[in-house]
Structure formats: structure tokens, C-alpha cells
């Protein structure tokens, strides 16, 4: 269970986001459920704790990039219903007095595609046909196409970043999460001079859904094609019920 390491529960951020609970925690961010005190609607507050561990100069540079990526997300989400909406962005003071950036996103009720697939396997439901898999993931493909036309790549396409609202086997809609985040985290890792591993994963992308160029730049640079490769892996997993890339560690993958 995620813990309130940033000690934000019960606090009100920016005089309008009352923090109610912790809903998830990763290597570089903690997600809280908060209530917009004026609109009386829930929002997701994503706080990027890992970006607070740098010098003041590097932190300022990362914060500037974070704001730019937030603006891109706001623009993309305004153009596509399949991209989670960015509502606000800002910086709060952490437990040690450091400035920590946060992003306010629309609150989603549902589950990630990763959780959906695990639940379907546990219930013994039949696998989807290729036609059904494409129909399910088509909104994500269209959202990526929109971003790619603008020269923007996601770089961390995986079932955990695809959110399902509604009945996965019936009437449902999908939302793509974490646009622009992988780039900021990757740049932060370059500043730190190393790749930070959390729970056996490189934080800027997920190895099980990584494209060749993410494992080694000898295969070329990352870009929109990286997302296409990862989306193809998801399609394969939805159809076969198995992760396409098999391996016990980073080197094997």
C-alpha cells in the first residue's frame, strides 16, 4: 500500500486542492486523490518527488521542462478525449523544504489495462480476437497519431499507462496516462549521471514494453516509432494473454 511520504494528507495545495488519500506510488511520483474546494470535484494530484533530489540549478531546469511538458499535455488532452486531461500545474514545498513539482489531472474511475487483463485471466475469460483487440486499443492509437503528427512521443507505452473506463468487454473508453513524463524523468537521470532502477525497472521506460532503441542507442534514437513498437507489444499481449518480451532481468529482455 502506498504511503504518504510527502506528508500531504489533510493539507490544501494552492488554496484549492484538499488532499484526501494516497492512491498510488512509483519510483518518481506519488498520486493523491484531492478535492477541488471550489468546484467540489475530485482530481488526481501527481507529485513528482524524484525531481526534488537535485541541486537548485538542476531543479530549476527540470521544473522549467516539466512546465513545458505540462503545457504540451494540456494541448494534446484538449484535442483528444483519449488522453488524460491536465487541469493545472505548480510546485509545492516538500518535507525538507525543497520545491517539488506537481500536476493536477482529471480524476478517473476505472482500472488500468494491466489490472483489467490480470482480472480477466483470474476469471478465466476468453482471449480477445485481433479484431476486438484493435477495436479496444484504437482510441490509444488515434491519440498517439495526434501526438506524433506534432512530433511528440510518449516513450512509455504500457498497459499500466492505459486506463479503462466502463466495461472492458462492452461499452468502455480508454485514456492514455503519463504523456511527457518519461522525457522529464529521462533527462533527470542524465543529470544524475545514472539510470535509477526501481522494482527492477528503469524508471524512464518499462523494459517489458521497450523498443530496441530504448535498450541501446546503437539501434538509433527514440521517437514516435518507439510508441508504435510498444503499442504493437500491447496488442500482442491482449490477443495472446502473455507478455511478448520474456526475461528475468534487463539484459535478458
Whole-angstrom distance, CA of residue 138 vs CA of residue 156: 17
Distance of CA 75 to the CA centre of its chain: 17
At residue 244, the pLDDT reads: 86
At residue 203, the pLDDT reads: 45
At residue 186, the pLDDT reads: 64
At residue 67, the pLDDT reads: 80
pLDDT in tens, the chain (253 residues): 678 888 999 999 999 999 999 998 876 788 999 999 999 999 999 998 766 566 677 777 777 777 887 888 888 889 999 999 989 988 888 887 877 889 999 999 999 999 999 999 999 999 999 999 999 999 999 999 999 998 889 999 999 999 999 999 999 999 999 876 666 666 666 665 544 443 344 446 788 999 999 888 899 998 999 999 999 999 999 999 998 888 887 777 7
Whole-angstrom distance, CA of residue 250 vs CA of residue 248: 7
At residue 212, the pLDDT reads: 92
At residue 229, the pLDDT reads: 97
Over residues 211-226, the pLDDT tens digits come to 999 888 899 998 999 9
Q: Cα–Cα distances in Å, from 250 out to 96, 196, 202?
A: 34, 13, 9
| Catalytic (active-site) positions | 156
Whole-angstrom distance, CA of residue 27 vs CA of residue 150: 29
Q: Cα–Cα distances in Å, from 150 out to 79, 153, 169, 176?
A: 12, 9, 32, 17
At residue 199, the pLDDT reads: 38
- The answer to whether 178 and 156 have CB atoms below 8 angstroms apart is yes
Output Rg (C-alpha) for the chain, integer angstroms.
18
At residue 108, the pLDDT reads: 96
β-sheet with 111-112: strand ranges across: 111-112, 162-166, 172-176
At residue 194, the pLDDT reads: 46
- What is the 8-class DSSP label of residue 14? T
Q: Whole-prediction pTM value?
A: 0.85
Amino acid at each position: 500500500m502506498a504511503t504518504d511520504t510527502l506528508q500531504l494528507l489533510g493539507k490544501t495545495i494552492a488554496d484549492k486542492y484538499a488532499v484526501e488519500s494516497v492512491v498510488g506510488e512509483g519510483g518518481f511520483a506519488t498520486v493523491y486523490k484531492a478535492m477541488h474546494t471550489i468546484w467540489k470535484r475530485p482530481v488526481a494530484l501527481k507529485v513528482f518527488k524524484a525531481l526534488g533530489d537535485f541541486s537548485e540549478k538542476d531543479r530549476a531546469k527540470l521544473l522549467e521542462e516539466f512546465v513545458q511538458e505540462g503545457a504540451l499535455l494540456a494541448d494534446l488532452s484538449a484535442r483528444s478525449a483519449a488522453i488524460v486531461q491536465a487541469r493545472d500545474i505548480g510546485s509545492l514545498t516538500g518535507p525538507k523544504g525543497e520545491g517539488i513539482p506537481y500536476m493536477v489531472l482529471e480524476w478517473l474511475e476505472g482500472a488500468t489495462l494491466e489490472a483489467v487483463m490480470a482480472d480477466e485471466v483470474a476469471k478465466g475469460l476468453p482471449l480477445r480476437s485481433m479484431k476486438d483487440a484493435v477495436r479496444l486499443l484504437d482510441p490509444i492509437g488515434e491519440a498517439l497519431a495526434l501526438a506524433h503528427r506534432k512530433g511528440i512521443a510518449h516513450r512509455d507505452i504500457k498497459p499500466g499507462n492505459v486506463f479503462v473506463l466502463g466495461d472492458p468487454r462492452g461499452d468502455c473508453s480508454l485514456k492514455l496516462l503519463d504523456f511527457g513524463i518519461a522525457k522529464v524523468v529521462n533527462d533527470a537521470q542524465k543529470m544524475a549521471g545514472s539510470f535509477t532502477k526501481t522494482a527492477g525497472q528503469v524508471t524512464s521506460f518499462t523494459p517489458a514494453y521497450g523498443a530496441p532503441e530504448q535498450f541501446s542507442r546503437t539501434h538509433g534514437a527514440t521517437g514516435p516509432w518507439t510508441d508504435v513498437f510498444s503499442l504493437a507489444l500491447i496488442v500482442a499481449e491482449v490477443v495472446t494473454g502473455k507478455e511478448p518480451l520474456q526475461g528475468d532481468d534487463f539484459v535478458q529482455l
